[in-house]
A and B are shown apart, each in its own frame.
Chain A
Amino acid sequence: MAAKTRQTRQAAVIGGNRIPFARANGKYARASNLDMLTATLDGLVARYGLAGERLGEVVAGAVLKHSRDFNLTREAVLGSRLAPSTPAYDVQQACGTGLEAAIAVSNKIRLGQIESGVAGGVDTASDAPIAVNEDLRRILVALNGARSASARLKLLGKLRPGQIVPEIPQNSEPRTGLSMGEHAAITAKEWGVSREAQDELAAASHRHLAAAYDRGFFDDLVTPYLGVTRDDNLRPDSSVEKLAKLKPVFGRGEDATMTAGNSTPLTDGSALVLLGSDEWAAEHKLPVLAHFVDAETAAVDYVHGRDGLLTAPVYAVPRLLERNGLTLQDFDFYEIHEAFASTVLATLKAWEDPAFSKERLGLDSPLGSIDRSRLNVNGSSLAAGHPFAATGGRIVASLAKALHEKGSGRGLISICAAGGQGVVAILEAVK
């Protein structure tokens, strides 16, 4: 019971910074994770006047990571204008990385272990870590350990031309061999998610993101990078009609509904949020946009079980709601990460389905439907793009600002991740 009696306090979302997201092998093709994360951190430092400041902790990560980046976040801090006495560590939970980092920092703030922190992530699908061929790697490792010239010569004799073929990171699940899109297509078919509904969601994402840029919503959330001033995947003139012309890329035959337009592209980018205690924010004359209320993670057995790869948030949300005494309808904003349009739509269908809710979620009645006008109101990954570890930071900062603008209410974040995992969280406006 000792833990229960410990006093906790609120963790505040103060603001955020991200660079515009860019489609892979494009504008940021030559930028490394470290370059992007450092620039994003410096943009955050500039926005909040933190040059020379020691923060409690910086926590971030990347999904696609070079072995040299073992201490990526700490190196970014050392390259930034923050005080070098600011500690940092890396986390990695696939697409849940950014949100998981924010959970870690806000928990430490709530416990009084730190007063301030930065959380987020970065990813490049362009500057990918290509490794040497596995056979070659084994020979090189043995060569490194060989003690005699004859042993070395023997090992060198094992070299074969085929070993020059490198290991390239795959966007597929190690245990199924299926790509994420193929997994999502299975779920889309299972829930009967239509092509039209997916295209509508995609068009809305572009429309919302463009409108948010036009009204200056991102003026204090984004700092341009390498000459890019807006997410370059954004198509303000996107429409259901245009999207309907695209050919399906995932799934087969009549069930193939998923296109390049209603799936997120490979993207480069980085995003961070600034968190702190209310007291720290007040001392630094910084605004509190929202409070980080609670979070939950879930995982599903997509390998042998019946669940889809990206359906873990379906399980995480009811647990989070129950712990907080809330219903699905108690939110003013829903930020459901658009890995694929079909993922968002399948998730919503699952929460509405009585049989699924009873049998799989163990609920007497389904969570029900949401007011779709509150979903991803400032655009989401289909329009902005999805640099895996950066998405959580993007969503937390944007949702916190939306809550601050509204001046009341709460928001729900739901992010699906590779490995059959899901990370969800609640933010609340500060009154």
Chain B
Amino acid sequence: MSNDRLRDFSNTGIAGRLGVPRVPLLRRHEPGRPLLPGPALVSAVGAGRFAKPIGALVEESGQSVVESAGEDKLAAVVLDLTAAASLADLAAAQQILTPAVRKIAPSGRLLVLGPEPAEASTGEAAAVAQALDGLVRSIGKELRAGATANLLVVAADALPAAVDSSVRFFLSARSAYVDGQVVHVGVPVGAPQDPVGMDDPIDPDRPLAGRVAVVTGAARGIGAAIADTLARDGASIVAVDIPAAGENLAKVANRTAGVALQLDITAADAPERLLGHLRERHGGVDLVVHNAGITRDKLLANMDAARWDSVLAVNLAAQLRINDALLTDETVLREAGRIVCVSSQSGIAGNRGQTNYAASKAGIIGMVRAYAPRFAERGATINAVAPGFIETEMTQKMPLGTREAGRRVNSLRQGGLPVDVAETIGWLGQSSSGGVNGQVVRVCGQSILGA
């Protein structure tokens, strides 16, 4: 899908001699590969409660753990700052991070766990907690060669198990294009004991095994990649798209050994038909991915009602109605249900000529935040992913200048792939990701737009 000629050229010997800045080749997930390709530095400032279980997680995956930076390149640096409360703690963090970032390997991972600023007991503690935001985002901009930096803000009463799936995601190649993100992790929703606990460890290669996943807009592009990726991770796929897209939809359904459901999600009876299908054919649903979306670009000055209405109807109204139906109905959304809505960078930063699209995609963010507590009551979560510049058929058709500008204005100096969005959805869709709710995760390579 990626047709990034500059990236390909920049990785040749000639380009190196000419001094062309290298566009990194990102490490991406392949089933069977280990979590990390090399050793990880795992450290803490103060009485951090996560360093030890994360170290164990890394060792269990087959890699060694070091406590300070040495000669070897580091595949990952994990710093537990959840106990940091003073400027002295922050200074200690700098002392650990400075030698560590020098040793980060290509496509390496820097992951900081910090405290929730709102829970801080002193002004200084709150300042330090918030300082991590600026620190990590700046590291993201400093790192090169496809390395990323992300921050997990962890609630004081969250146990290590609550961050497990998030730590795995951010350390793994699955998060290749997720950079400079701040994700809040709380006490998992639903039953106090996570349904997939210690007795029933998740197969890291098939974390969605046994789960039924609906993907709207699945016939092509990012939606098809989502279906493929969730199926690869073990989910049974219900691929939904408008009847006119049925030919491609059937191909996606068949290659994922899933089911095709031709349905216009804007139809009045669409929620009823979708839920009926899920109830009768699958006995319920575990993961709903609201991916279907359209663009009808026009400057607001020239916008007609048809363009406005059709975009809002598909991108937002349909999601609202289906989510309401899932909340009202007691039989379809199962325990540990997960809703993931596809928002967009345009919804965060705005985009010229996309007032309708940006309004719908920003609306999704508002919807996710408002619905999060309501889904939590059901033991379910709702989150959004906001793709940045993703290489699709649509971006291939953009004028060269616009496309090049869109690709390069991020810390990874390239566009993402549909699979990058899909991997992020897969993480949020796991039963063990119940600690992440009402969040918006950007899949944008730390784009400067809207940041």
| A residues at B contact (CB < 8 Å) | 39, 42-43, 45-49, 51-52, 81, 216, 218-220, 222-227, 229, 285-287
Q: Which residues of the other chain, A, contact B281 by a CB distance below 8 angstroms?
A: 49, 285-287
Whether A216 and B258, one on each chain, are in contact in the complex, defined by CB atoms closer than 8 angstroms, is no
Q: How far is the CA of A51 from the CA of B237 in the complex (A)?
A: 12
Closest to A225 in B: B247
Closest to A216 in B: B267
Q: Which residues of the other chain, A, contact B262 by a CB distance below 8 angstroms?
A: 219-220, 223
Q: Which residues of the other chain, B, contact A81 by a CB distance below 8 angstroms?
A: 254
Q: How far is the CA of A49 from the CA of B278 in the complex (A)?
A: 13
B164 to chain A, nearest CB (A): 32
Q: Which residues of the other chain, A, contact B282 by a CB distance below 8 angstroms?
A: 285
Whether A52 and B257, one on each chain, are in contact in the complex, defined by CB atoms closer than 8 angstroms, is yes
Q: Which residues of the other chain, B, contact A48 by a CB distance below 8 angstroms?
A: 259
Q: Which residues of the other chain, A, contact B245 by a CB distance below 8 angstroms?
A: 224
A51-B254, A219-B243 are contacts. A46–B280 as well, Cβ < 8 Å? no
Whether A222 and B257, one on each chain, are in contact in the complex, defined by CB atoms closer than 8 angstroms, is no
B244 CB-CB contact with A under 8 Å: yes
Q: Which residues of the other chain, A, contact B254 by a CB distance below 8 angstroms?
A: 42, 45-46, 51, 81
Whether B259 and A218, one on each chain, are in contact in the complex, defined by CB atoms closer than 8 angstroms, is no
Q: B271-285: contact bitstring with A at CB < 8 Å (1 yes, 0 no)?
A: 000000000111100
A217 to chain B, nearest CB (A): 11
Whether A216 and B264, one on each chain, are in contact in the complex, defined by CB atoms closer than 8 angstroms, is yes
Contact of B247 among A45, A216, A218, A224 (CB under 8 A): A224
29 CB < 8 A contacts A-B = A39-B247, A42-B251, A46-B239, A46-B250, A46-B251, A46-B259, A46-B260, A47-B259, A48-B259, A49-B257, A51-B254, A216-B243, A216-B264, A218-B243, A219-B262, A219-B263, A222-B243, A222-B246, A223-B246, A224-B243, A224-B244, A224-B247, A226-B247, A227-B247, A229-B243, A285-B280, A285-B281, A285-B282, A287-B280
Q: Which residues of the other chain, B, contact A227 by a CB distance below 8 angstroms?
A: 247
List of 4 A-B pairs having minimum Cβ-Cβ separation, nearest first = A46-B250, A46-B260, A46-B253, A49-B259
Whether B259 and A43, one on each chain, are in contact in the complex, defined by CB atoms closer than 8 angstroms, is no
B375 to chain A, nearest CB (A): 26
List B residues 277-300 near A (Cβ within 8 Å). 280-283
Q: Which residues of the other chain, A, contact B260 by a CB distance below 8 angstroms?
A: 43, 46-47, 223
B249 CB-CB contact with A under 8 Å: yes
Q: Which residues of the other chain, A, contact B283 by a CB distance below 8 angstroms?
A: 285
Whether A51 and B257, one on each chain, are in contact in the complex, defined by CB atoms closer than 8 angstroms, is yes
Whether A42 and B250, one on each chain, are in contact in the complex, defined by CB atoms closer than 8 angstroms, is yes
Q: Which residues of the other chain, A, contact B243 by a CB distance below 8 angstroms?
A: 216, 218-219, 222, 224, 229
Whether B249 and A46, one on each chain, are in contact in the complex, defined by CB atoms closer than 8 angstroms, is yes
Q: How far is the CA of A372 from the CA of B249 in the complex (A)?
A: 38
A116 to chain B, nearest CB (A): 16
Q: Which residues of the other chain, B, contact A223 by a CB distance below 8 angstroms?
A: 246-247, 250, 260, 262
B83 to chain A, nearest CB (A): 50
Q: How far is the CA of A286 from the CA of B262 in the complex (A)?
A: 16
Q: Which residues of the other chain, B, contact A226 by a CB distance below 8 angstroms?
A: 247
Q: How far is the CA of A39 from the CA of B267 in the complex (A)?
A: 27
Closest to B243 in A: A219
B76 to chain A, nearest CB (A): 38
Q: Which residues of the other chain, B, contact A224 by a CB distance below 8 angstroms?
A: 243-247
Q: How far is the CA of A60 from the CA of B246 in the complex (A)?
A: 23
Excluding A46-B250, A52-B257, 14 further A-B contacts by CB distance (< 8 Å) are A43-B247, A46-B253, A46-B259, A47-B250, A47-B261, A49-B253, A49-B257, A49-B258, A220-B261, A222-B243, A223-B247, A225-B247, A229-B246, A287-B281
Q: How far is the CA of A47 from the CA of B246 in the complex (A)?
A: 10
Q: How far is the CA of A65 from the CA of B39 in the complex (A)?
A: 65
Q: Which residues of the other chain, A, contact B269 by a CB distance below 8 angstroms?
A: 216
Closest to B281 in A: A285
Q: How far is the CA of A5 from the CA of B249 in the complex (A)?
A: 47
Q: How far is the CA of A52 from the CA of B282 in the complex (A)?
A: 18
Q: Which residues of the other chain, B, contact A49 by a CB distance below 8 angstroms?
A: 253, 257-259, 281
Q: Which residues of the other chain, A, contact B263 by a CB distance below 8 angstroms?
A: 219
Closest to A80 in B: B254
Q: How far is the CA of A42 from the CA of B254 in the complex (A)?
A: 8
Q: How far is the CA of A296 from the CA of B257 in the complex (A)?
A: 38
Q: How far is the CA of A226 from the CA of B259 in the complex (A)?
A: 21
Q: How far is the CA of A39 from the CA of B260 in the complex (A)?
A: 14
A30 to chain B, nearest CB (A): 16
Q: How far is the CA of A94 from the CA of B245 in the complex (A)?
A: 32
Contact of B246 among A43, A216, A285 (CB under 8 A): A43
Q: How far is the CA of A399 from the CA of B329 in the complex (A)?
A: 31
B245 to chain A, nearest CB (A): 8
Interface centre among A39, A46, A218, A287 (most CB of B within 10 A): A46
Q: Which residues of the other chain, A, contact B280 by a CB distance below 8 angstroms?
A: 285, 287
Closest to A226 in B: B247
Q: Which residues of the other chain, B, contact A225 by a CB distance below 8 angstroms?
A: 247
Closest to A229 in B: B244
Q: How far is the CA of A116 from the CA of B202 in the complex (A)?
A: 36
Q: How far is the CA of A51 from the CA of B281 in the complex (A)?
A: 15
Q: How far is the CA of A226 from the CA of B250 in the complex (A)?
A: 13
A161 to chain B, nearest CB (A): 45
Q: How far is the CA of A287 from the CA of B276 in the complex (A)?
A: 11
Interface centre among A51, A218, A224 (most CB of B within 10 A): A224
Closest to B269 in A: A216
Q: Which residues of the other chain, B, contact A216 by a CB distance below 8 angstroms?
A: 243, 264, 267, 269
Q: Which residues of the other chain, A, contact B239 by a CB distance below 8 angstroms?
A: 46
Q: How far is the CA of A397 from the CA of B314 in the complex (A)?
A: 30
Q: How far is the CA of A178 from the CA of B257 in the complex (A)?
A: 49
